[in-house]
Structures are given as C-alpha cells and as structure tokens.
Amino acid sequence: MDLHVTHAWYLVLGALLFTLGAVGVVVRRNPLVMLMCVELMLNAVNLTFVTFSRMLGDVGGQTIVFFVLVVAAAEVVVGLGITVALLRRLPGATADDVSYLRG
C-alpha cells in the first residue's frame, strides 16, 4: 500500500483533537478536568500551526507555538489559583455551583 502521510492528515488529527477538547470543556463539571480539556484544545492548535509552518516553509508558525506554550502556562497558573481560592471556600464545588452572577 503506497499511503503517503500528507499534511492534511495532521490537520485532520488536529481538528479531531480540538473537537474532543471543546466537547470536554462543555460536558465536564470538575474545574480541573475542564482546564485539562482546554489544554487539549491548545495542543491541537499547536499541532496545526506546526503543520502549516512546514506546509508554507515559514518558521513563524513554530514561533507562534512557542508563544502559545508560554501563555498556556500562565493561564494554567492563574486558573489553578482561582480554583484553589474557590474550593477553599466552597469545598467540593463544581463549575455549576459558581452561579452567583445569575441574571
């Protein structure tokens, strides 16, 4: 079988991963698991960027991934800080319990 791994394959994989991450964010209630699903989405995006970088022969794609990595790290830090602050006051809370801004 002369199957060639084209760039499209990577892109499809990235799309799949992104979809899984998006659905996970929406469906799960545990705040930390939601955060992990966000990480899934970010990784999908990173994969896509790197693929494009190779497709277009441009190193900018990889540079962007670098920045995404940094920002993801900062985001996780802050997200965990919020979770800690929240769960200290409301032990055992899920995302649904923080609905004080209900209209």
Restricted to residues 38-77, the positions that interact with other proteins (CB under 8 A) are: 39-40, 43, 46-47, 50-60, 62-63, 65-67, 69-77
Other beta carbons within 10 Å of 54: 13
Answer for the pair 21, 44: CB distance below 8 angstroms, yes or no: yes
What letter represents residue 20's amino acid? Answer: L
Q: How far is the CB of 70 from other proteins (least distance, A)?
A: 5
Q: How far is the CB of 53 from other proteins (least distance, A)?
A: 7
Q: How far is the CB of 33 from other proteins (least distance, A)?
A: 5
DSSP structure class, residue 97? G
